[in-house]
Structure 1
Amino acid sequence: MRIRASVALVTGALALTALAAPTAQAADPSAGLAAKVTSFASVSPKDDSTGDTKISNVVVNGGKAVVLGSTTKKSFTLTFTASDDSGIDWAFALLWHGSTFEKSDNGALPDEGDKAKCTVVDSTTVSCKETFTVDAKYDLLNTNAGAWKVWVVAQAKDTDYVQKDNAKSFSLQRASKLTADATPEPVKKGKTLTVKGRLTRANWDTNKDAGYSGQSVKLQFRKKGSSAYTTVKTVKTDSKGNLKTTVKASVDGYYRYSFAGTSTTPAVNAAGDFVQVKK
């Protein structure tokens, strides 16, 4: 896969450079990605800096989780601010997943190449932006869902620099879907309604949606004319993500299932299913 291969090369180069150059050196801004990243590698690619260069305001996807379906290809942005009293020469960031940067199992390089697009704010500060494109069909496995991190480096015009291996964390999640169907419709007051549904989420291994088993999902009701749902009970999905429960019909209104989400899967609400109650 393109992304995993790219980050594997960067990580490998970091390790090799650590043996050849145990102390950080100033990077040549005209050099390629490997040279720029590896020029800051010491014994391990941990946080490192010299001088007063700073990185702040790191934001991925506008602060929202990046959610991809089974075959979704999505582009999103990373923005950050870099500053130094002498001004910033260049900056660069990449995304990674894993327990540590050295042991990352996946990652993403920016569409812009080996240097972020930075706009001068004033004599000391720049505002930088990168775009990342991730294709679930080719770049992701289910084990890659969850917390990702931002590796970022900036170099000042006087060769001061700062490097952070975890400047920001963000969530990359498997898209979820939820349905609800209440029967019979219409129903007599006091009679039993059966509400069925299914919770599914993207499967990046097979590139098909699959049932999300063993999850707690709330059955909610909204009375006709009201704008707010209230929780009736909590139901768990079966091995295929199916939901089924019963309630007593009382008044006209809408039934839906509501899933709060997990670290790997976003929250989702089913569309409300209207049921008319006859006296």
Structure 2
Amino acid sequence: MRIRATVAAVSGALALSAFVVPAAQAADAGSSHRVDFAKYFGQYASSGKTAFSASGAVEGDLDVSFSNFKIAKAIKVGTTNKVSTTVTYTLTHGADVDITSDNFLTVPVIYHGSDATPDSVQGPDLAAVCKAVSATTATCKGSIDIYPKTTDADLKLRNSYAGTWHGAGIALDLESEQSALQTGLATTLVQRNSTLTVNAAPEPVKKGATVTVTGKLSRANWEDHKYHGYTGQSVQLQFRKKGSSTYSTLKTVKTDSTGNLKTTTKATVDGYYRYAFAGTSTTPAVNATGDFVDVK
């Protein structure tokens, strides 16, 4: 089954049929169903059910629960290309739930914000594939597929969404119109991808002379789909002697108001200079490719 995630804000309790629609109305030809994940969340967030506010609680009338939810510690998202990450989890279900039926599907999703009122939900293009390990348990493998340059307003990322997201599991029975949702299964960082450059000059340089090392730290802007300088960040200037595989830190420099870096050091031996950024919760660590300087 082909799954299309949309994240429009929804109010009011919604029936399952309201957020599962025929493929003819979906964006991808050949699909059998599309699921609107936000409507699914909205069904519980606005229904007044207090259990939904308890992270890890199972909501719904389908006898299904989720555990062992495994996802990457961090997901780096740039400005244009689709980013996918694998999710695995254990599905436990009642004996009356037929997970092999064409009417059954399950998906992992991640959401930003609170369990009750998430401000963004991202899901997969395809339903998870599950393999039974007993009469009532299965191991499932799915994905989270993020499109940073989507034209779908409901799927667009905002820069403020960078940081911690939470994992959830959804299971649907399209024939009986039963469903289950379990939030708070795991956490991951969805980060604005970073880039870092370096240039050491002059090349070559006399031994004992000054080397000026410049560079720039940038990160993805999810709202205008460009990279901009990351200001006020501490970045290490590192050096690796020719023939060595290990960098050592020479000093720490801060990026200026446009993300630029500039400092000086004394040339002693041939080697490679680079800048190294340790990362933050919103932006991943990155190292510049070393720039070689020949010392005469």
TM-score calculated relative to the size of structure 1 = 0.79
Give, as a single letter, the amino acid of the residue that structure 2 aligns with 1:8: A
Question: How many residues were matched structurally?
Answer: 255
Residue in 1 that maps onto 2:29: none
SS at match of 2:49: coil
SS of the residue corresponding to residue 6 of structure 2 reads helix
Match of 1:6 in 2: 6
Contact 1:260 1:267 (8 Å CA) reproduced: yes
Q: Which residue of 2 aligns with 1:67?
A: 76
The residue that corresponds to 1:152 in the other structure is: 169
Q: Partner residue of 2:66? A: 55
Gaps of 5+ in 2: 22-34, 100-105, 151-155
Amino acid at match of 2:183: D
Which residue of 2 is the match for residue 24 of structure 1? none
Question: In structure 1, what is the Cα distance between the partners aligned to 2:212 and 2:40?
Answer: 61
Mapped partners of 2:237, 2:133: distance in 1: 50
The amino acid of 2:7's aligned partner reads: V
Kept in 1: contact 2:236–2:251 (CA 8 A): yes
Contact 2:44 2:116 in 1 (8 A): no
Deviations 1:66-94 (A, max 9, x none): 11211222233322111247375454432
Distance 1:211 1:39 in 2: 40
1:198 to 197, 200, 216: 216
> For residues 1-279 of structure 1, what are the structure 2 equivalents within 5 Å?
6-9=6-9, 12=11, 15-16=12-13, 33=35, 38=43, 43-44=49-50, 45-46=52-53, 47-48=57-58, 54-60=65-71, 63-84=72-93, 86=95, 89-90=98-99, 91-98=106-113, 100-112=114-126, 116-138=128-150, 139-154=156-171, 163-278=181-296
Residue 7 of structure 1: SS of its match in structure 2? coil
Unaligned runs of at least 5 residues, structure 1: 21-26
The residue type equivalent to 2:157 in the other structure is L
Q: In the alignment, is the contact (CA less than 8 A) between 1:88 and 1:125 conserved in 2?
A: no
> Per the alignment, do residues 42 and 151 of structure 1 end up closer, same or farther by CA in structure 2, a change over 3 Å counting?
farther
Distance 1:143 1:79 in 2: 27
Q: Which residue of 2 aligns with 1:23?
A: none
Q: Which amino acid aligns with 2:49?
A: V
Question: Structure 2 vs 1, CA of residues 137 and 163 (structure 1 numbering), >3 Å: closer, same or farther?
Answer: closer
Supply the distance in 2 between the matched residues of 1:52 and 1:189 (Cα, whole angstroms). Answer: 73
Deviates more, 1:205-214 or 1:47-56: 47-56
Q: Distance in 2 between matches of 1:182 and 1:59?
A: 42
How far has the Cα of 1:64 moved from its partner? 4.2
SS of the aligned residue for 2:149 comes to helix
Residue 162 of structure 1: how far off its partner (Å): 6.7
1:8 Cα shift?
3.1
Residue 153 (structure 1) shift: 4.0
Provide the C-alpha distance between the structure 2 equivalents of 1:165 and 1:194, rounded to a whole number of angstroms. 51
Q: Give the share of equivalent positions with the same residue, in percent.
A: 46
8 Å contact kept, 2:107–2:123: no
The CA deviation at 1:55 is: 2.1
Q: Offset at 1:209?
A: 0.6
What CA RMSD, in Å, does the superposition of the two structures yield over aligned residues?
Answer: 3.2
**Structure 2: distance between partners of 1:106 and 1:163:** 16
Change (3 A) 1:161 1:8: closer
